């Protein structure tokens, strides 16, 4: 069903591209507006400031920014490609990149003025290379990056007898969970006041869970099981980028998933039914229902802004390989192939990647900009707010990160893995069911 949907989308898109060309170069040349789409409302003020600076430097060019929520964003973006109303520039996510590149709706930045000077060395290691297509062209200019760490309630940690030092040096393994599971168990409290590591603890009547739930993780598990799985030495695919085979049938991955969702059976992690878009980990944490939450650096201000909670952060635990691991994901700015003002779009993307704009974004203290200078500015901004972000930045400096998987048929991989992972989490399906799902995914990739 998903393959047919992609085929239908491709056909409709081809018609849209042809009709878009019929509008003529004169219409595009006449346009002095650069349209730009993004989804994060928290970042909007910083990019509005970048736009004002850009307009001062480029008289006659006007940047029109549209912001919408995550789900609406991708639905409307896809529809805009079909209708020929796509923006000139949009914030791209690496999980969507492969599909857009395959559908040929992105402009190669290395063939455009202003953006053709982008180099891998301009950014934090690994960010720029993630946006190179299979044809060798660059399709995204890195804008920011994120990693994952453990947010924790300092008061609850003290009451459990856990120090910041202990939480920052936890270990993990799939057999008994290591000191990480011991800490999560200790932080879990049932309605009778018994902790998860105490005799008489009732896992069916939990008042405070040791670890908040963040759904099943689907195909990437970024803020769920990814850090644990990667710390065993497991990799999503056979290659760092544009892999040709997934490894969801690897014993290391299945053992990790079995252990992770087993925390729910023990009462340390909420059951899957307690997760929803309106009851995510930050809500569970903020309401006192969970003592810790694994989440990304884009949520720093959200967690530290929770009323009445003294928040701390700790690094992901050391795994069986003796190393830590955290996914390093990065967003980028992409130019659409049929941008109405392609030259202006290229100027705008180059400005977004410039030191001035990167520092402007960094000063907002919302995300870590892609350049080292922008990152340093962000770290200082967080420090002014009394927030220590070492748990997020140290893995980058120590090269303890791994990339988001990039392959063809990304949407289909997600569509196959989502119900498989949900079944394991919600219904206790055996992890060996992943063998069949992995075979289906790899059959798809072999086409």
Cα 72 to Cα 39, 69, 118, 290, 378: the distances in Å are: 9, 5, 30, 29, 28
Q: Quote the tokens at residue 61.
A: 């060019």
What pLDDT is recorded for position 447?
87
What pLDDT is recorded for position 433?
98
Span 298-314, mean pLDDT?
97
Looking at the fold, whether 424 and 282 belong to one and the same domain comes out as yes
Looking at the fold, whether 25 and 108 belong to one and the same domain comes out as yes
Question: Is residue 251 within 8 Å of residue 233, measured between CB atoms?
Answer: no
Looking at the fold, whether 341 and 314 belong to one and the same domain comes out as no
Residue 174 confidence (pLDDT) above 60: yes
Span 268-282, mean pLDDT?
94
Give the chain's domain count. 2
Looking at the fold, whether 101 and 199 belong to one and the same domain comes out as no
- What is the domain-level CATH number for residue 433? 3.40.190.10
* Torsional sign, CA 314, 294, 430, 420: negative
If you average pLDDT over every residue of the chain, what do you get?
92
Which among 91, 97, 103 has a CA at the least distance from the CA of 129? 97
What pLDDT is recorded for position 71?
87
What pLDDT is recorded for position 31?
67
Looking at the fold, whether 169 and 290 belong to one and the same domain comes out as yes
Residue 181 CA to its chain's centroid (Å): 24
Confidence of residue 6 (pLDDT cuts 50, 70, 90): very low
Looking at the fold, whether 240 and 337 belong to one and the same domain comes out as no
What pLDDT is recorded for position 397?
93
What pLDDT is recorded for position 2?
28
3-state secondary structure of 89: strand
Looking at the fold, whether 317 and 275 belong to one and the same domain comes out as yes
Residue 396 lies in a domain: no
The 10s digit of each residue's pLDDT in 218-250 is 999 999 999 999 999 999 999 988 999 999 999
Looking at the fold, whether 281 and 367 belong to one and the same domain comes out as no
Looking at the fold, whether 371 and 225 belong to one and the same domain comes out as no
Please, what is the Cα angle at 128 between 368 and 397, to 5 degrees? 50
Question: Is residue 255 within 8 Å of residue 197, measured between CB atoms?
Answer: no
- CA dist 219 and 61 (Å) reads 41
Looking at the fold, whether 14 and 139 belong to one and the same domain comes out as yes
What pLDDT is recorded for position 8?
36
Residue 395 lies in a domain: no
Span 26-49, mean pLDDT?
84
Percent over 90 (pLDDT), the chain: 89
Residue 180 confidence (pLDDT) above 90: yes
Confidence of residue 24 (pLDDT cuts 50, 70, 90): very low
Residue 202: domain span = 148-327+407-445
Looking at the fold, whether 290 and 171 belong to one and the same domain comes out as yes
Residue 337 lies in a domain: yes
Looking at the fold, whether 180 and 306 belong to one and the same domain comes out as yes
The 10s digit of each residue's pLDDT in 359-389 is 999 999 999 999 999 999 999 999 999 999 9
Residue 402 lies in a domain: no
Residue 5 confidence (pLDDT) above 90: no
- CA dist 288 and 284 (Å) reads 6
Strands 141-146 and 148-153: unpaired
Residue 292 lies in a domain: yes
What pLDDT is recorded for position 241?
84
Percent over 70 (pLDDT), the chain: 93
Longest Cα–Cα distance of the chain, Å, equals 77
**Residue 183: beta bridge partners?**
none
3-state secondary structure of 185: helix
């Amino acid at each position: 069903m998903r393959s047919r949907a992609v085929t239908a989308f491709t056909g409709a898109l081809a018609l849209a591209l042809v009709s878009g060309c019929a509008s003529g170069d004169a219409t595009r040349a006449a346009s002095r507006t650069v349209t730009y789409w993004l989804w994060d409302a928290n970042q909007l003020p910083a990019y509005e400031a970048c736009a004002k600076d850009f307009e001062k430097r480029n008289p006659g060019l006007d940047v029109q920014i549209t912001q919408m929520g995550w789900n609406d964003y991708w639905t409307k973006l896809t529809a805009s490609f079909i209708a020929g109303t796509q923006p000139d520039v949009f914030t791209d996510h690496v999980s969507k990149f492969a599909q857009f590149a395959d559908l040929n709706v992105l402009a190669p930045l290395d063939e455009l003025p202003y953006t053709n000077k982008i180099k891998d060395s301009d950014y934090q290691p690994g960010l720029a290379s993630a946006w190179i297509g299979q044809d060798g062209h660059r399709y995204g200019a890195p804008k920011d990056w994120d990693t994952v760490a453990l947010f924790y309630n300092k008061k609850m940690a003290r009451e459990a007898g856990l120090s910041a030092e202990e939480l920052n040096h936890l270990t993990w393994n799939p057999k008994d969970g290591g000191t990480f599971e011991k800490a999560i168990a200790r932080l879990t409290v049932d309605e009778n006041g018994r902790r998860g590591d105490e005799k008489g603890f009732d896992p069916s009547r939990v008042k405070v869970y040791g670890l908040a739930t963040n759904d099943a993780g689907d195909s990437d598990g970024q803020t769920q099981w990814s850090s644990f799985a990667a710390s065993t030495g497991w990799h999503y695919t056979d290659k760092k980028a544009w892999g040709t085979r997934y490894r969801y049938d690897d014993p290391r991955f299945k053992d990790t998933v079995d252990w992770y969702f087993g925390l729910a059976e023990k009462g340390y992690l909420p059951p899957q039914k307690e997760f929803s878009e309106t009851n995510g980990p930050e809500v569970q944490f903020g309401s006192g229902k969970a003592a810790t939450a694994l989440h990304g650096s884009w949520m720093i201000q959200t967690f530290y802004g929770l009323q009445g909670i003294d928040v701390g952060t700790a690094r992901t635990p050391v795994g069986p390989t003796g190393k830590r691991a955290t996914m390093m994901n990065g967003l980028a700015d992409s130019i659409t192939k049929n941008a109405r003002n392609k030259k202006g779009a290229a100027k705008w993307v180059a400005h977004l990647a410039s030191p001035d704009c990167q520092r402007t974004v960094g000063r907002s203290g919302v995300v870590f900009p892609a350049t080292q200078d922008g990152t340093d500015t962000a770290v200082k901004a967080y420090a002014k707010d009394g927030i220590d972000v070492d748990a997020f930045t140290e893995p980058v400096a120590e090269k303890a990160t791994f990339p988001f998987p990039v392959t063809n048929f990304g949407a289909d991989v997600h569509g196959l893995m989502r119900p498989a992972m949900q079944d394991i989490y919600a219904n206790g399906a055996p992890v060996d069911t992943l063998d069949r799902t992995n075979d289906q995914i790899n059959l798809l990739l072999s086409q």
